Amino acid sequence: MKKHNLRFLCEKNLSDLCLNESASVKHIKSGTDMCKRFWDMGIIEGTPVKCVLCGSCGLKAFLIRGAVYALRKEDAENIIIE
């Protein structure tokens, strides 16, 4: 049986945010293809984020540092929030 890291099972990620819900970035999972792009968008530890739009096909839009970014669910899952 495979062992799971319980820390990651309990953590909430950006794709879990509901409409008008806010959080701050705890960390970004390293080794992802989008990691550098997130940094370029200003998504770093401690950055406040707010979900401003929920799309029907897994897209969500987030207010980050005064700009609105749409992220796919699979990309948003790599951003851990608190």
More confident residue, 72 or 2: 72
Domain 10-81 CATH assignment equals 3.40.630.10: no
Q: What is the pLDDT of residues 34-46, one digit of tens each?
A: 888 999 999 999 9
Q: Which residue has the tokens 């207010």?
A: 63
Q: Tell me if 20 sits within 8 A of 51, measured CB to CB.
A: yes
Residue 39: both structure tokens together: 């940094």
pLDDT over 90 percentage in the chain: 72
Domain coordinates of the chain in residue numbers?
10-81
The three state secondary structure string of the chain is CCCCCHHHHHCEEHHHCCCCCEEEEEEECCCCCCHHHHHHCCCCCCCEEEEEEECCCCEEEEEECCEEEEEEHHHHCCEEEC
